[in-house]
């Protein structure tokens, strides 16, 4: 089989590649997303992550201008519990549109139930997978 316009294939392939590579970034152009990893059981790290999240929302004009998700796994899960020392700040974060996600794998390993988590915390199957998926969708990644 012959290709009637072999030069066309060369010009079309880069264009198609650009479209497919830009597809995950389409989200970023509409409403940027930022995923913040916290895997430390350290109130100072949590306060820094919460400050980063609030500052981003303020700087970009509000929660309707940017999506922010904090993902906790490993030792960081402890700070998402209802009795956490940053519990009051978690409530404020949720009310300002910051998503708080707990790793189900860590919950199982640490024998933590959903009832022990702060109100508004959602669970994800795996914290690392959640971060990876968000990055694939074009979200920026921060680890304080």
In tens, the pLDDT along 103-116 reads 999 999 999 999 99
What is the spatial distance between Cα 139 and Cα 142, in angstroms, rounded to a whole number? 10
What is the spatial distance between Cα 67 and Cα 51, in angstroms, rounded to a whole number? 15
Q: Is residue 99 part of a domain?
A: yes
Task: Give one DSSP letter per residue of 105-124, joined into a string.
Answer: HHHHHHT--GGGBPTTEEEE
Number of domains in the chain: 1
Residue 8 pLDDT exceeds 90: no
Q: Please give the model's pTM, rounded to 2 decimal places.
A: 0.80
Residue 83 maps to which CATH number?
3.40.1260.10
Per-residue DSSP letter, 1: -
In tens, the pLDDT along 52-105 reads 999 999 999 999 999 999 999 999 999 999 999 999 999 999 999 999 999 999
Residue 106 belongs to domain spanning? 27-142
30 or 29, which is more confident: 30
Residue 4 pLDDT exceeds 70: no
């Amino acid at each position: 089989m012959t290709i009637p316009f072999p030069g066309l294939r060369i010009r079309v392939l880069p264009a198609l590649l650009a479209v497919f590579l830009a597809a995950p970034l389409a989200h970023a152009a509409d409403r940027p997303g930022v995923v913040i990893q916290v895997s430390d059981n350290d109130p100072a790290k949590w306060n820094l992550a919460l400050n980063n999240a609030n500052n981003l929302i303020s700087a970009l004009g509000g929660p309707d201008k940017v999506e922010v998700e904090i993902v906790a796994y490993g030792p960081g899960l402890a700070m998402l519990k209802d009795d956490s020392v940053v519990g009051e700040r978690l409530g404020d974060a949720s009310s300002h549109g910051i998503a708080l996600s707990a790793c189900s794998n860590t919950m199982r390993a640490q024998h933590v139930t959903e009832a022990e988590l702060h109100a508004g915390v959602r669970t994800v199957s795996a914290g690392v997978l959640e971060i990876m998926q968000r990055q694939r969708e074009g979200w920026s990644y921060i680890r304080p």
